[in-house]
Structure 1
Amino acid sequence: MKSALFLCVLLLGLQVQGQHRSDLNNEQQEQKTSHSQAEGKNLAHVKIASSNADFAFKFYKQVREENSNKNIFFSPLSISTAFAMLSLGARSNTLNQLHKGLAFNLTEMEEQEIHEGFQRVLQLLNEPGQEVQLSMGNALFIHKRLKLLQKFLDDVTNFYYSEAISSNFQNSSEAIKEINKYIETKTHGKIVDLLRRLDADTVMVLVNYIYFKGYWENPFDSSSTREDDFLLDDKNSVKVKMMHQSNYFNIHRDEKLSCWVVEIPYKGNVAALFILPDEGKMKQVEDALLKETMSNWMQSFKERKIYLHLPKFSISALYDVKSLFEKMGVTEVFSDLADLSGVAENTLLKVSAAIHKAMVDVSENGTEAAAVTVIQVVEVSALSPPPPHIRFNRPFLMLVFNKPTQNILFMGKIVNPADKED
């Protein structure tokens, strides 16, 4: 059985505002190696990690405003990567709004460093030979008659390793089918038929996907999983499959925010943080979600034996990113005032739609047609206090982060593990 499966897709539809004819110049893949080698010598990805964390928590709080009593799950890195890639073609106030919305401060880093940072993140996430399955990528589906500027095409290829795919948007049903097939393939068949319609004037669709499948470093024993109550609030509960494990984990009790924080590592270089607020303290913890808070938790970790009780769950969520961004002050790129003049020749463009879908599946770790038995022998100390029971049997938060890039890959709030749909 899978330990965890995370899938996120972001779609951006670019709509033409003017008329224009030309053939697509599809020269790609050159200079990629030289760019990669040069960028690998600096730490631009560390610089952008701080901004990406700021964006993650800012976006979470905007989502929470509209989904306070619903499950939340998204990939902040998928969203920021897609819009950072689009910003290569943005100019003037449109570009300024995108930078501000994505939490990039150009007094602290140069614009070039932003793109070099994402370039390095993509390299590290897609590195072969990892113990987790982790892949992230981008694609541009382009109207056959849209003439991209060569610099934009070079930059999205070199920094974001984006594929450029020529499509016939005049036959919208075929274009939709082609884009959905690409998404289905890249997400290993887990996200299907995401794109339902295209605006009549669409000339380009930008896709970002991220796929992660990991195995717990210390798997749960499936024979210990049993039905238990998950408290939705002080009056209502649902039945869930609750996993159990007694083991050593990095944990922290935040007395100021009234919550437990448990780090559960995957095999490899990815780990999950599960945050369990005390009853009635969820909003207090959510309001305090900042990169400084997360840093403080991680610096305060102590390895300790605990009795961990964690529900199995499989949920998905779908978001209108355009609407959320507009409420965050990023408006111009979606309007007729949009300046995306760095994308294509003699063509006025704006973003007409931006949607994001994510899903997560968390369960015990096992491998088909195999079994593992682990017997741990530990010294018994009469002086040690008994291990605490940390029961995730009420709404909790979850963050998944990649250690080499220091980026939050996924973030969510599990309000009802039994509610699978977005």
Structure 2
Amino acid sequence: MNGVIHLSLALVAFSVVSHGNHDVDHHHDHHDRGQAVSKISDNTVQFATELYKILSQRSDGKNIIYSPCSISILLSVLLLGSKSKTHTEILEGLSFNLTQIREEEIHQGFHELLHMLTHSDHEFTLDIGQGLFLRDDIQPLQTFLEKIKEFYEAEIQATKFQEPKEAEKQINDYIEKKTHGKIVQLVKDLDIETRLVLTTYSYFKGNWKTPFDPQLTNEEDFFVDQNTTVKVQMMHREGWFNYYIDEKLSCTVVGMDYNGTATAIFVLPDPGKEKELEEGLSGDILHEWGKNLQRHTARVSIPKLNLSATYSLKDPLGQLGITELFTDHADLSGITEQPLKLSKVTHKVVLTVDEGGTEAAAATAGEAVPMSLPPKIVFNHPFLMFLIEKSVTTIITMAKIINPTQQ
């Protein structure tokens, strides 16, 4: 009988807090050490947008918040332990073609991505990593242990799955610690047959380069759809923004930088044009937006967010063509010689966006703006949000906010 892998993705997307006025911008020269990561960046963006479309089709009017970066890293760890058709499906699901890139280069790219995201001299906190838990009476292959350590700084922890409650506590404590207490009780109802649990976690906390003044935040209407209006705490700032009006896709794109090399992209479709925007979403469009963002003055209003989302990724990954992993035909013989298959993939994300502490308010006072009234950009109906690490062009988190009050 096949053992069962229970796979969980624990992700804290990001918490935007602005304490103090750190207006320094560090531009690191990544040209030399960004070569491996540049070979995978188009693929990771394509994976992100493909998965987004699948999640959106299945969202049933709920917010979408997920970390494509963490999911793709987790799948690439599985690549190291999979063989035959299982292996091919994961490669293709990740948008890789071995006629264009060698497998070694894929792992080298993810290794470099992880290193640059977590080890650089950032002015924000970003922790991304893996936790692998294997039943304590199963021996993992030494080659797998060496490879996951070399490429992904990951280790396998022996776990007593024969005692499901004890195993749950071990895994949940680990994830809670790694996500700074943001994600608790990730795994529950573990099966006594479980052999392996894989987790990945992502935690981001950054300060806006130019914060919002909390005294300007007030309650306003947010139009969920034609029949539903909710009250939200709306943040306001007048000043300089990077923005672009995309007439082809009928949307307004606003870029807001954090201190350091992370940026948030907010995309507001024109009323009634949400579908066109979603259908047109692609790596090329994201690239085009980045190229066309121009610095102008504007009055921007964005709701405060404190949201979480939990998904089972088994079916969405199936729609990407990754199906054999979950069947008795799964070939994970690169992990251990015992037969294993995947039973469950859980992905949880927490998203917090706020204006920050009151001491940040003074930072907005000295910003000179033209006398004429700048245009208003009000995010008061469903919009998209991307958290992007500019130095490695990767999407850390992607969200579609349909209802900011939805829990």
What whole-Å deviation, never above 9, does each CA across 1:256-280 have from its counterpart, x for those lacking one?
1110000011111100000000000
Q: Which of 209, 226, 235 lines up with 1:243 in the alignment?
A: 235
Q: Residues of 2 paired with 1:129 and 1:83: CA distance?
A: 27
- Contact 1:231/1:394 (<8 A) preserved: yes
- Contact 1:230/1:238 (<8 A) preserved: yes
Where do 4+ consecutive residues of structure 1 move more than 3 Å? Answer: 369-374, 377-381
Q: Residues of 2 paired with 1:217 and 1:335: CA distance?
A: 48
- Contact 1:77/1:410 (<8 A) preserved: yes
- Contact 2:133/2:198 (<8 A) preserved: yes
Q: Residues of 2 paired with 1:299 and 1:330: CA distance?
A: 33
* Aligned residue identity for 1:13: H
Q: Residues of 1 paired with 2:361 and 2:235: CA distance?
A: 17
**Mean CA deviation greater in 322-331 or 247-256:** 322-331
- Contact 2:66/2:349 (<8 A) preserved: yes
- Contact 1:219/1:366 (<8 A) preserved: no
Match of 2:404 in 1: 417
Match of 2:192 in 1: 200
Q: Which of 395, 404, 413 lines up with 2:391 in the alignment?
A: 404
Aligned residues: 379
Displacement of 1:62 after TM fit?
0.6
Displacement of 1:200 after TM fit?
2.4
Match of 1:352 in 2: 343
Identity fraction in percent: 41
Q: Residues of 2 paired with 1:254 and 1:374: CA distance?
A: 28
- CA pair 376-257 structure 1, distance change in 2 beyond 3 A: same
Match of 2:362 in 1: 372
Q: Which secondary structure state, in structure 2, belongs to the residue aligned with residue 292 of structure 1?
A: helix
Match of 1:300 in 2: 292
Q: Residues of 1 paired with 2:370 and 2:302: CA distance?
A: 25
Match of 2:20 in 1: none
Displacement of 1:121 after TM fit?
1.0
Q: Residues of 2 paired with 1:217 and 1:321: CA distance?
A: 34
Report whether the alignment pairs 1:327 with 2:319: yes
Q: Residues of 2 paired with 1:211 and 1:57: CA distance?
A: 21
How is 1:19-418 mapped onto 2 (pairs within 5 angstroms)?
41=33, 43-127=35-119, 129-345=121-337, 347-366=338-357, 372-376=362-366, 378=368, 380=370, 386-418=373-405
RMSD of aligned residue pairs (Cα, Å) = 1.6
Q: Which secondary structure state, in structure 2, belongs to the residue aligned with residue 196 of structure 1?
A: coil
Displacement of 1:373 after TM fit?
4.7
Displacement of 1:380 after TM fit?
4.2
Q: Which secondary structure state, in structure 1, belongs to the residue aligned with residue 119 of structure 2?
A: coil
Displacement of 1:326 after TM fit?
1.4
Q: Residues of 1 paired with 2:233 and 2:258: CA distance?
A: 21
Q: Which secondary structure state, in structure 1, belongs to the residue aligned with residue 405 of structure 2?
A: coil
* Aligned residue identity for 2:308: S
Q: Residues of 2 paired with 1:162 and 1:84: CA distance?
A: 12
* Aligned residue identity for 1:50: D
Displacement of 1:361 after TM fit?
0.6
Q: Which secondary structure state, in structure 1, belongs to the residue aligned with residue 238 of structure 2?
A: strand
Displacement of 1:379 after TM fit?
6.7
Q: Which secondary structure state, in structure 2, belongs to the residue aligned with residue 155 of structure 1?
A: helix
Q: Residues of 1 paired with 2:52 and 2:299: CA distance?
A: 29
Q: Residues of 2 paired with 1:258 and 1:309: CA distance?
A: 19
Displacement of 1:247 after TM fit?
1.2
* Aligned residue identity for 2:200: N
Q: Show structure 1 runs of 5+ residues with no match.
A: 1-11, 15-39
So what's the TM-score if we normalise by structure 1? 0.87
- Contact 1:335/1:351 (<8 A) preserved: yes
What whole-Å deviation, never above 9, does each CA across 1:13-50 have from its counterpart, x for those lacking one?
27xxxxxxxxxxxxxxxxxxxxxxxxx85611111111
- Contact 2:90/2:322 (<8 A) preserved: yes
- Contact 1:138/1:208 (<8 A) preserved: yes
- CA pair 73-42 structure 1, distance change in 2 beyond 3 A: closer
Q: Which secondary structure state, in structure 1, belongs to the residue aligned with residue 76 of structure 2?
A: helix
- Contact 1:250/1:302 (<8 A) preserved: yes
Match of 2:15 in 1: none
Q: Which secondary structure state, in structure 1, belongs to the residue aligned with residue 391 of structure 2?
A: coil
Q: Residues of 1 paired with 2:151 and 2:370: CA distance?
A: 54
Q: Which of 6, 9, 14 lines up with 1:13 in the alignment?
A: 6
Q: Which secondary structure state, in structure 1, belongs to the residue aligned with residue 349 of structure 2?
A: strand
